[in-house]
Structure 1
Amino acid sequence: MINLFTVIQIFELLTAIIASIHYKKYSGTFLKYFLYMLWLVVIIEAFIWLFMINGVIVQNNFIYNIFTSLQYVFYYVLFYNTLVNDTYKKWIRAFIILFILLVIINFVWIQKLTVTVTFHSYTFTVGAILLIITIGLFFIEILNNEKVLYFTRYLMFWISIGLLVFYTGIIPYIISLNLLPEMLSNDSLTIIFIVLNVVMYSCFIFGFVFSKKYY
């Protein structure tokens, strides 16, 4: 029987492959770095899996604390390069600076970055909130220009939908890690986490397949 978390890894790999197949659609834009990020996720997960099946103890939280922090910064930069409105871009610049400062503070003084540290739920939650606001700015902008006429064929729309669903749904899950630790063994939380991942990557896949070429 396939491990439930293997389902996420399958969707990660499938998304990266499909994104590579449709690379020409967005190769001339900043979105090409989104493809690199997808493959980086696959590679990191593959190495962790290989280490684990060979009996090597891997401190996942240490890796994920660093990677998810970098991932948030990448998403902010992605939307910064997508948006046109100068005011919105200033907001995103402020989010990037604020988030980096919070990560440094958390790494050094609060939850700290050590090999045996727990998952950095504080900065992850703040990063999710700032990302949701950023996605909101993106939707406001496309509602006020010609992109709204073909939004279903607009790749960034589907990437934004996937990220919005995942990070909006994941906030209660992450908060429960701190406030309701007795629920960590609850299978329903695990299923919710997996479903959110599947929905997010499905949105990415749909966008890569059905979007129009960027000009």
Structure 2
Amino acid sequence: MPMEELFKFLSEQYIIPFYLIVWLAAMSRYHTYFDTPMKYYPMYLMYTFLTELLGYFIKFHDEFQVVSDSNYDWYNVIIYNIYSVISFAFFYYLYWRLVKTDKYKKWIIVGAMTSLCSYGLSLFFQDPFYSNLYYADLVASMTLLFVIWLYFKEKRNETHPQPMKYNLMFWTSLGLVVFHVFFPYLILIGYEAPKIWVQYRLRSILWVLILFMYGSFLIGVLTHKRRAFR
């Protein structure tokens, strides 16, 4: 990548290098959570980074196009649809491993299956190569918020000598909650009311939410204590 393009990339796509920074921080402290349900966390972070990097190349380099229609050769939405399914599945699995109540575990499984079915149904109405499966994203986000609520509900009844601010899952959950409270509705507006998306610069709000979520992830991996995990 030429220096001019690299500078433009870093200045306009600064979120992508930030993903890499979070991954590096997570790897540097991997020894503190490698034997917990979060052991696959660095893989998720690297997958996020590679997805965003591939999305950039598809959008700005013709040789990386993934659709046959030359009018839409910059469309990279398919990789984000795949990412959504894998990402939600990862977090459902993570919280399923964390909660101890059998009833909550069953509810998480039901929620995960419902979300998966919503993505399957969306394929009958939306082309995943040309559109975000935003209705399925809405179902999956609401399900994830419910799952996180179950986790905190269970945590509330526990006694633990370590403050929550040292719990890696607290910061991870905080970032996820703030992001997914708004994310599906922003994407819905982007497709169903594009004039509002442009007028109110909602893309910038989405980027702020992403930065907050991964900033929360970064704080978690840097400040957490092994004994406070759960």
Q: Normalising to structure 1: TM-score of the pair?
A: 0.90
Q: How does 1:27-42 map to 2 (within 5 A)?
A: 27-42=34-49
| Greater Rg over alpha carbons, structure | 2
- Per mean C-alpha deviation after superposition, the further-off stretch among 195-204 and 174-183 is 174-183
Alignment partner for residue 66 of structure 1, among 58, 82, 87? 82
Higher RCO (CA 8 Å, separation ≥ 6 residues)? 1
Structure 1 unaligned residues grouped into runs of 5+: none
1:159 counterpart = 2:172: yes
What is the alpha-carbon root mean square deviation over aligned residues?
2.1
- Per mean C-alpha deviation after superposition, the further-off stretch among 66-75 and 154-163 is 66-75
- Per mean C-alpha deviation after superposition, the further-off stretch among 93-102 and 173-182 is 173-182
- Amino acid in structure 1 at the alignment position of 2:30: Y
- Rounded to whole Å, the distance in 1 between the matches of 2:201 and 2:10 is 15
Aligned residue for 2:93, secondary structure, equals helix
Q: How does 1:93-132 map to 2 (within 5 A)?
A: 93-107=109-123, 109-113=124-128, 115=129, 117-132=130-145
Match of 2:206 in 1: 193
- Amino acid in structure 2 at the alignment position of 1:206: I
The number of equivalent residue pairs is 212
Judge conservation of contact 1:5–1:194 (CA < 8 Å) in 2. no
**Per-residue deviation at 1:99?**
1.2
**Per-residue deviation at 1:66?**
1.3
Q: Percent identity?
A: 25
- Amino acid in structure 1 at the alignment position of 2:185: P
**Per-residue deviation at 1:55?**
3.4
- Per mean C-alpha deviation after superposition, the further-off stretch among 86-95 and 4-13 is 4-13
1:12 counterpart = 2:28: no
